[in-house]
Amino acid sequence: MTVPPAITARQLLRGLDRATLATALPGGAPYASLVLLATAPDGAPLLLISDLAQHTVNIAAEPRVALLLDGTAGRDEPLTGPRVTLLGRAERSAEDGLRARFLARHPSAALYAGFADFHLYRVAVERAHLVAGFGRIDWIAAADLLPPGLAALAASEDEIVRHMNADHNAAVDLYARVLLGRDGDGWQLTGIDAEGADLRRGGAVARLDFAAPVGDAKEARAALVALARQARAG
């Protein structure tokens, strides 16, 4: 069964930890740079960037940006793999919760996140262009890429993440090893949303998808328990 384009694009957005950011230099020439990527609970891309960086200078003059998310790593034929370009506007955000979510995804960023010239930006996505292999090309509206309900766990996210990492770390390792085919122990949850959870171990990240979207903490717990049982059985 073919995965709908919006879901494929959203899986790339949630699952990757870096992107190519395209901005416009003064005068209009294109400029591309590598940035670390996280997402807000509702799926909006988050960037932590310095005022001194050229891309931030560009955004100050022209906030329209593009983000290329490349899911082709490890393929013998990269052009058969999925990639998506997000188009939108980068807007500075002072929300502590979003900054905390970014730092959970990228712990090393804590070394410079407190510097006066670093600020968090949220990208308001307007549409997306997905290429998921030969012949699979789609434009995706923002409302389809990031539908309502993705932030259903925002209020309880911190509690769920802390509880899983402190009391069920063995289950988190099982998710990574058995369900996601990742090596090693010591995996940690860094975030959770209506469609799944984000994991990290050292420099590696992984995405654990739920079988179906959840609407509250109780449903999230049931989904995590079901995945743990599946992992133990597998």
Task: Classify 46 as helix, strand or coil.
Answer: strand
CB half-sphere exposure, 113, CA atoms < 13 A: 20
Would you state the pLDDT for residue 133? 84
Q: Which of 5, 26, 14 is nearest to 150 (CA)?
A: 14
- How many Å apart are CA 31 and CA 194, to the nearest integer? 34
Rg (CA), the chain: 18
Whole-number mean pLDDT of the chain? 97
pLDDT, tens digit (0-9, with 9 covering 90-100), for 143-170: 999 999 999 999 999 999 999 999 999 9
- Domain boundaries of the chain, sorted by first residue: 5-145, 154-233
- How many Å apart are CA 74 and CA 78, to the nearest integer? 8
Would you state the pLDDT for residue 225? 98
CA angle, 152 as apex, 150 and 155 as ends, to 5°? 130
Task: Classify 179 as helix, strand or coil.
Answer: helix
**For the chain, how far is it from start to end, CA to CA, in angstroms?**
23
Superfamily for 5-145? Electron Transport, Fmn-binding Protein; Chain A (2.30.110.10)
Q: What CATH number was assigned to the domain covering residues 154-233?
A: 3.20.180.10
- Per the rule left: phi > 0, alpha: psi between -120 and 50, beta: everything else, 135 is left
DSSP 3: P
Please check whether residue 22 is in contact with residue 31, taking contact to mean a CB–CB distance below 8 angstroms. Answer: yes
Determine phi and psi for 149, rounding to 5 degrees.
105, -10
pLDDT, tens digit (0-9, with 9 covering 90-100), for 27-84: 999 999 999 999 999 999 999 999 999 999 999 999 999 999 999 999 999 999 999 9
Task: Give residue 34's identity as a one-letter amino acid code.
Answer: L
Report pTM.
Answer: 0.95
